[in-house]
Chains A and B, each alone.
Chain A
């Protein structure tokens, strides 16, 4: 009897096909098998047809000489470089425009988003026109618009025109706005700038540690500490020290205009500028709206409570509104960042040599479409996943901790 009682207490469930759980598993396996089957069918079809047409396949081509020139590159590239190097140049160009674009779009988006809620009627209306106009014009059109504007002979000169007497004059003595791009001075490459960079990174870590300490102290003792300004100070100090220690370089390279070539200095091409402007302005309109709705999602009572205990408006914004608004803002913001990055492929229209543009060239020079497209997909996936992970991590950190 005792035994039987124990047995009844732990009933052995018989699995049957009527079991919901079992059915669930079975369906998943079936769906997976179908998907795998379709993929396999398409893949083998492709392989069979490529073989029938004698199309070269495989990734060997990546090691061969590319043979074409690329207009702008963050690494040394020449037509004698390989296809792999060419694709890498494209990847870096994609990253460059995406990173600068995300930073600028965030900055503009937040400012416009806050201004949308301004009590000044004119400001609020103007901003709402900005948002509604810009996010309803296709971004491709905006990019082409900027490119046409910059390269139009109606507005800007070409570099050569600066050489003629009584011609246009550079801004501040050495910044040239032309329809071939903006040419400006830049510090010459020197190990000292690496020192400054290392200093900056150390400074960021230092500022972060300082902020953590300040927060813990406030939680424990209620004493305030100007962590923000102190952090900026630490950051500036470390950067400065890094720069000094590694030789304090100050040599500047100025652009010098020749008949054809502009040498020295730094160049921002019309293609980069058009793409950057197009992406930034378009995305900032979306971000502004996200920021606005994030702020509106904070209950009014919170703000009134803040005022009631005598907090300053700026403190209310920083300590009451933003922390709560960010919870609402971050997830849609992440997808805007991803959109901006993917939209950078529209560069093809104006000829900025980013990943898609160079992959397409590679594709048509080698005829190896599936390979080139696979590489593109993997790279975009990697960029997207990295962005999502970073943003999710940040999102998790700023979630309100229930106490």
Chain B
């Protein structure tokens, strides 16, 4: 059997066998019993989720897997990362192969409903862009009529692409390749005129995957053609786990607002006079119990990966991307967490 057929059959089998064991218990209990969180990530997108040569994963998406593991298990390293292409990700989550997805996945109505999934919160506000070779001399996406465009299947990207060209009365030929390495190679060899995906993905691919020293031969066009709110996803039917992932994300944002960092969290928990910080870090109990977790849930998450600002600084500036809308609401951005109380 060949790889795709195998994937298809495996997902069919997985779908068939959904239920019994995995669903008899709640996800949080399951993770505790297993002793690790199984987290679906991309196959390798620098800044978001990428393994190094020793198999150690880093990135913003990876940090949220670690944060959730730390909140539930008290240890941010108890994560098993499962690399998934765009096409594999939803079946893997639906069938219980992974507990959650933290994989630059755009929140859309269909995915949040018909696919049987729940989006938790946004960890990165993004939008779709276009990248072209500089020597093409193109200055705007409006000049791309007739272009050949490299894109990955199973993404919002391929739908937005079709929408954009349709609404601007332009034609395009898609070259649709599932494997990230292959689609990158196709673009950089000149099989396509244009590469399209989330702007963050473009920045990452331009920096990390262009042929050595050739990054500057490629430009990202100014048009952003869509809204891509990216964030972790869980299955329908387990409200507790949905709440846990959602509030771990909010806790990191709240921590940034309060100035709580991985370095000072432990000290803050005892020294602070601020009731909000006390609730967040569990020195005033109650929040952990409400989530069905240890009172140190947020403390552990923050100790493991830091607050939202720290997570950002560790992963994103290296791609050359500004904080922009992803800044706190109080600093001109739209990152905003409901109150932890």
Contacts and interface: CB of A to CB of B under 8 A. Distances in A.
A50 B18 contact: yes
Contacts of B8: 356, 360, 373, 376
Nearest to A157: B190
B147 interface: yes
Nearest to B161: A69
Interface in A317-351: 342-343, 345-346, 348-351
Contacts of A357: 153, 176, 178
A80 B190 CA distance: 28
A370 B236 contact: no
A52 B17 contact: no
B90 A52 contact: no
A43 B236 CA distance: 20
Contacts of B179: 349
A71 B176 CA distance: 8
A283 B19 CA distance: 42
Contacts of A48: 19
Interface string B1-45: 011110011011001111110010000000000000000000000
A60 to B, nearest CB: 10
A275 to B, nearest CB: 13
B158 interface: yes
B5 A345 contact: yes
Interface stretch (A25-33, A206-214, A300-308, A361-369): A361-369
B1 to A, nearest CB: 9
Contact of A42 (B16, B87, B116, B235): B16
Contact of A351 (B87, B115, B117, B186): B186
Given A54-B116, A80-B166, A148 B12 contact: no
Nearest to A263: B146
Contacts, number: 188
B173 interface: yes
A360 B154 contact: yes
A361 B145 contact: no
B190 A364 contact: no
A10 B142 CA distance: 92
A24 interface: no
Contact of A373 (B12, B23, B94): B12
Contacts of A49: 18-19, 23
Contact of B236 (A55, A71, A80, A348): A55
A223 interface: no
Given A68-B159, A153-B189, A364 B12 contact: no
B114 A353 contact: no
A118 interface: no
B86 interface: yes
Contacts of B185: 148, 151
A399 interface: no
Interface of B: 2-5, 8-9, 11-12, 15-20, 23, 86-91, 94, 110-111, 113-117, 144-148, 153-154, 158-159, 161-163, 165-166, 171-179, 182-183, 185-186, 189-191, 193, 235-237
Closest 4 CB pairs of A and B: A261-B146, A364-B154, A367-B115, A55-B116
23 contacts: A45-B20, A52-B236, A55-B114, A69-B165, A69-B176, A80-B166, A260-B145, A261-B146, A342-B5, A345-B4, A351-B177, A353-B176, A356-B5, A360-B8, A360-B154, A361-B176, A364-B86, A364-B153, A365-B110, A367-B115, A367-B116, A373-B8, A373-B11
Given A52-B19, A361-B153, A369-B94, 10 more contacts: A49-B23, A50-B18, A54-B236, A68-B162, A68-B176, A349-B177, A360-B4, A364-B88, A367-B111, A369-B11
